[in-house]
Amino acid sequence: AAGPTSGAMSSVAAAKLPPAPGLPAFPEDATGMLVSSMLRGARAQINERGISNIHARIDDLRPHFDVETREVPARLLWALHPSKGEKLIQQGDLYVPTLLGFTLAAALVWGMKASHAGEALSAGNTVIGTALATAFFYWAAAAVLLLGCAYALQVRLRPTQALCLTGYALVAVDVALVAALAPHAAPFWAAFVVLGGASAASLGRAAASLAESPRHGAALAAIAAALPLVFALYCRRAFFP
């Protein structure tokens, strides 16, 4: 009977023995404290790097939107003047193209309301959402297509330059589609021919200025000029009365 009792007492005594000489006492929750400290440090590094990356990206984009309001009319004229289109390559921005994208979306909203095209939208789609998606999807798709053609033609065109050119091309599209709200078709076709032709010549020349080969430059100019004209005709047919 004394055997089990003495065994239990010896185990309790062993549990209360002090650490062996020469070995430091190790706290029981040291592992948990170490893991918590490591997690906090990793989380702090992730947050710090994430914030710094966001700031770096904002700093990269800031020069492309650094345009004063008084400069906007002059830049719009660059997109309509064949001899000044090259300035869009040298001093391009994304501020004015963004404004033109929202203006295009507003024009599409007016056109859909005038033609009752919004009634044909599927459930879950709105007139404003469809207009914004159409405007900015075209802008992005046109820039990607222009970049692909430039790559195939061995023309050095940067993504920001492609976005700038295709964005400024919307100035003629916007004016033509606003004119399409008139009761007659004549204002649309007048704006399409005059402003569309001027914009196509300006942006086509700007795109061709980047090519070393005249043949490649002419091909890229034709593509840059045709994109906004085809899109204007599509919008006129799909969204306007």
pLDDT tens-digit map of 163-198: 999 999 999 999 999 999 988 889 999 999 999 999
SS3 of 224, please? helix
| Burial (Cβ within 10 Å: 0-12, 13-18, ≥19) of residue 231 | buried
User: Which residue pairs, CB below 8 angstroms and at least 24 apart, start in 216-222?
Assistant: 216/153, 216/154, 216/155, 217/155, 219/149, 219/153, 220/146, 220/149, 220/150, 220/153, 220/155, 220/157
DSSP letter at 24 equals -
Instruction: Identify the segments of the chain with pLDDT beneath 70.
Output: 1-39, 41-61, 117-125
Q: Give pLDDT, residue 229.
A: 94
pTM: 0.72
Q: Give pLDDT, residue 71.
A: 87
